[in-house]
Amino acid sequence: MANLNVNICGVQFKNPVIAASGTFGFGREFNEIYDISCIGGVSTKGTTMEPRLGNPVPRIAEGPSVILNAVGLQNPGVEHFIADDLEFLKSKGVVVIANVAGSTLEDYRNICRRLNGLVDMIELNISCPNVHAGGMALGIKPQNIKEVTRITRAELTKTPLIVKLSPNVESIVVNARVAEEGGADRISLLNTFTGMAIDLERRRPVIANNTGGVSGAGIKPIALRMVYEAAHAVKIPVIGMGGITCGRDALEFMCAGARAVQVGTANFTDPLAIPRIIGEMNEWLDAHNISDVNQIIDTLALN
């Protein structure tokens, strides 16, 4: 079997496959199906300072090869996570990545201050509206990305910082670079695309929020392109995601320059997706006489 260990800025992963935020909860439900200690890491459900009920239902719609969601960051809040979920995740021996969100810069500052030193990494979800920017998501404008990264980096004296980038931008390269300039230790991408589903009989949007985030296998070609561009625009490590459903998909992202990958929507269609993907990666590497997964990182040869 190939060596699947990867090291990202001093944090050791037993393998490069991470459960993506919003698709895995805090791991307890999946641990009833299989022992999640086989996973490289878990990016938690997006967590805010205070509990959130999320958006009204319906808030999920399925389409060919994609899912549209507008869950609205429903979560029990950071204190509940610390008291009830953190030790469980640590006991499983996975890298614990706390995905955090807020509506203002102060929200991000406070939650990062609270989690500093308690988790292995922080992942900033900056796709939520920022009231100080007229309701615009912090992850859209480069100056906002740089500012929220700078502010949270100052709070994280003991914890590495990941900035999760939105694809709904003018230039993923520019936004990757400003995250790096703001102090990100690594970036992850991509978050969901903005989309809509329509109920033609009712002439109304399917989900109550009207629009939502599009994820799933159908977005993989776009995600691969953006990961490749971002990975070659910055010097910090990149974690890639977007439509990964099998081991070959995961290895393609690493070939494009990602040091690790996150698997999200595939968990909905196949609860055993992550251990299967890890096994398929090993099989492919063995079949191609590659003894270490790190040997495939950034090996794409363009025409």
Contact 217, 253 (CB under 8 A): no
Indicate the SS3 state at residue 58.
Answer: coil
Question: Is 38 annotated in the active site?
Answer: no
Q: 301: how many CB neighbours lie within 10 A of its CB?
A: 5
Contact 63, 48 (CB under 8 A): no
Of 38, 128, 246, 255, which is the active-site residue? 128
**Looking at the DSSP assignment, which residues form a beta bridge with residue 68?**
61, 214
Contact 72, 54 (CB under 8 A): yes
Indicate the SS3 state at residue 206.
Answer: coil
Query: 180-204 burial by CB neighbour count: b if 16+ within 10 A, else e?
Result: bebbbbbbbbbbbbbbebeeeeeee
Considering only the C-alpha atoms of the chain, give the largest distance between any 2 of them, rounded to a whole number of Å.
56
Cite the active site residues.
128
